[in-house]
Structure 1
Amino acid sequence: MASEPKKNGVLKTLQSVLAAMFGVQSERKRNEDFSSGKPWRYVLLGLLMAFFS
């Protein structure tokens, strides 16, 4: 059976955005983020984190 891409929840998305902002996100995790999840979550959380930092 082919494995389906995992869906990212809000907490996983927040963790990815924080890791990306600090520059410590692994290549594997970045590829996983780009292949799953909803792009608007990353954009929205990224903008909010940048605004409130």
Structure 2
Amino acid sequence: MHHAWLIENLSNNRVRILTQETQIGIPAKALALEKPNPMLNGHQDWLDGLAKVVNN
């Protein structure tokens, strides 16, 4: 698996986070089939954590 992150400072105290990911290989394909999807949930947890820190 590979991840790319682009974090941009925007006007009005905003930030844009762009992500791209590849999942190649047997372990990555198996992980993508799990329900709930641990990769999607992990990304959402990361974003929720960022939002929590920023809003405190």
TM-score (norm 2): 0.29
More strand by share: 2
Answer with 1 or 2: which has the greater Rg: 2
Higher RCO, Cα 8 Å, sep 6+: 1
More helix by share: 1
